[in-house]
Structure 1
Amino acid sequence: MKPLQIFEAALNGTPAPRIPIFCNLFDQGARELGMSQKKYYAKGEHVAVGQLKLRARYGYDNVWSLFYVGREAELLGCREILYTEDGPPNVADFPITSYDDIAKFEIPADITAHPLWAETAQCLKILRQEVGATHPICAYITASTTLPAMLMGMDKWLELLLAGPVDVRDELLRKCSLFVQQQIAAYRAAGANVLVYSTPFGTTAFLDRKRFNAIALPWMKTDLAPGGVSNIVYLCGMAPFNNVITQVMNELAIPVYYISPMADLAEAKALIGERALTCGVIDDIKMIRWRPDQVRAEVRRLCEIGMAGQHFLFGTALMPLVVPEAAIRAMLDAAFEHGTYR
C-alpha cells in the first residue's frame, strides 16, 4: 500500500500493514538544499524540492506545502519577515497597529491572485506531480480566532479578544474567517489533500469554557462550514484539548485529532474511539536532549497506546532545527518497527 492509502485506511479503520507516520520537517529543507532560510523560502520550487528530499531521506509518509506560519500575514499586508538561521521565520511588521486599522483592513477578493500565492501554487504543483497520487500533501490553515495574533501581535489580540469592544472583535474575526474560507478552497483546488486547521483557541488552555462556547466554537463552525470538514485535521498548537474533544466531534465532525504531547493519549483515544483518527504526537522539544534509546521507548509507548482498534497515526509537532539527526532516525526507525500491525 502507498502512504496515502495507509493514511486513508487509518481514517476509515480498514486493514493496512502499518500506521501512517508523519514527520513535520520545515526549516530543515533550507539546510538540505544548502541555502539560507530567506533564499529557500523565496521560491515554491525550493520548498517543494526540500520537502521531497527530506521525505526521501527519512522515509516518512507526508510532505508539506507550508513555507512558514507568517506567510498568511504576508498575504494580508505584512511587509517584513524576520529570518534567522536557527529557527522559523516570523512576522516583523504587523498590518494592524490600532483598533482603527481594523475598519480599514480588507481581505483580498482572490488570494490566489497575490504574487506570494503563486509560489505556494508552484510548490503544490510540483508536490502534486511528484507524489500527489501516493502521499499525503499537507497544508496549514490558521483559524480565524488565531490569525489576528499574526496581524496585531498576541498581546493586543488577547486584549481585544478578552476585554475589547465586541463589535470591533467580531469585525476582525469576520474578515479573518473569510480569509480562512478562501484558503481552504484554494489549497484543496491546488492539490493539498490534508488540511491542518490550527486553532490554539480551540482549547480551554487559552479560553475558559464559557468563552470557548461563545467565541471559539461558533467561529470554527463559520470557518469550516462552506468547504466542509473532509480532510481537516484539528490541531491546537501543542495545547492539550482532551476536555473538548467530544464536543468538537459532536458539533464539527472533524475526522482527525492531533493530540498534544502534554495530553493523556490513552484518554484521548478512548474519547475518540472509532469515530475519528487519533494522532499520537511525540514531544519533539524533549527530543533535543533525549538519547536515541529514550526516543525509541517513547515511540513504542505511543504506538502501544494508540494502535489498538486501528484509527491511529504517529506524528511530530514542529521539529526544531536543533533536534539531532540521531534522534530523528531513532524516532522513525521505532515508528516503522512498532507501528507495524502483526
Structure 2
Amino acid sequence: MTDSTTVPITTLGVVAHAANDLRVEQISIRAPQLDEAVVQVAFGGVCGSDLHYWTHGAAGESILRAPMLLGHEVVGTVVSVAADGSGPSSGTRVAVHPATPAPGASRYPKDRPNLSPGCTYLGSAAHFPHTEGAFAKYSVLPSRMLRPLPVSLDFRTAAVSEPAAVAWHAVDRAGEVAGRSALVIGCGPIGALVVAVLKRAGASSITAVDVHEFPRRIAAELGATETLDAADSDAIAAVDADVVIECSGNRFGLESAIRGATRGGRIVMLGLLPTGMQPAPLSLVITRELELVGSFRFNSEIDEVLDALADGSLDVGAVVTHVYPAGDALKAFAVAKDSAASGKVLLEF
C-alpha cells in the first residue's frame, strides 16, 4: 500500500516547557530517518510521568532541561512508511512500544531489554538531548516500535495497551497467580489494569486498596472481589494474600503490601518510590520470608496484551474515564491529576 496522506510541515503538539508550563502549540515535523514511519495519532493516554513533567518539571531524576514533547501511550495509523521498507504498510492501524534499549555490551539479562542501561523512552527527560514524545497529530517513529492492531480492536481500547503491558509484566513477575489470592495496593490506572490482568490470569480473589472511593469502584468493575480503604490497616493486614502488587509508589503503600502479604508470599513493587531512602517494616520481610520483587516497564508483553484485548479476555473498559480533544490538554491534565475523580484520561488527536 502506498502512502495515502500528505504529511504537513508542522503539527499540533503537547509540550512541557518547565514546571507548570504546559503548552499546546504547533511544532515542526522532522524528516524521518530511513527506518522511521510517520503515524497519524488517534489517541494518547496521559501517564503519571507526563503529569510529573507538567507539575514538577521532572519525573523522578529525569529533569527537564529543554522543552519536550510529551506522550508515550499512543495509537494511530501509518500514513508514511519507512523508506527502508521496514515496518507496517501505509494505512495500518498501530500501537506503539515506546522503548529503545541501548546498544552495546552493558551487563544485563539479554532477555530483559527493559533493564538495559541507557534505554530511552518516548517523552522522557532521562537523557539529554531529551527523547521527544508522541503527543502530536503526526509523529515520526522508528518502524520497529509499531505493532499492528488486530482488526477487531478499536483505537480507544488499544490506547491503554502500553500501561496494560506494564501491568501484565508486573503480574508475570508475581509468578503463578491462578488459584491464588492477590492484593493490589493503589487503584490508579496502573493498579486498575493490574486488577484486570490478575482476573484474566485466574486469581482466586483480588483485594484492591486505595485512599479514594472512585478508583476502588473502577477496580471492582475490572474484577476486584473486595475493595478496602487504604486507611483500614487492620483489614489490609488480615487479607493474608499469596501475591501482592504495590502500585501506589509511596512508603505507606509498601508498608501495607508487607503487612497484607502471607508468610512466604511475594510482593511485586511496581509503583515507583521516590528517590532516596524509604522507611519500611523490613523485619517482617525477614521473619515472614517474604520476597520483594521489582517490576519496571515491560518487554514484549504488549503483543500479548493486544491479542488479549482483541479477543476480549482482558477487559479494560472501565479504566478510561475521560476523553478530551488534544487542544484541551491543559484541562485533560488537570482532570488526570485528580485521582479521586478520574481513571485513565485520553487525548484525542
* TM-score scaled by length of structure 2: 0.26
Q: Which has the higher helix share?
A: 1
Larger RCO, structure (CA 8 Å, separation 6 or more): 1
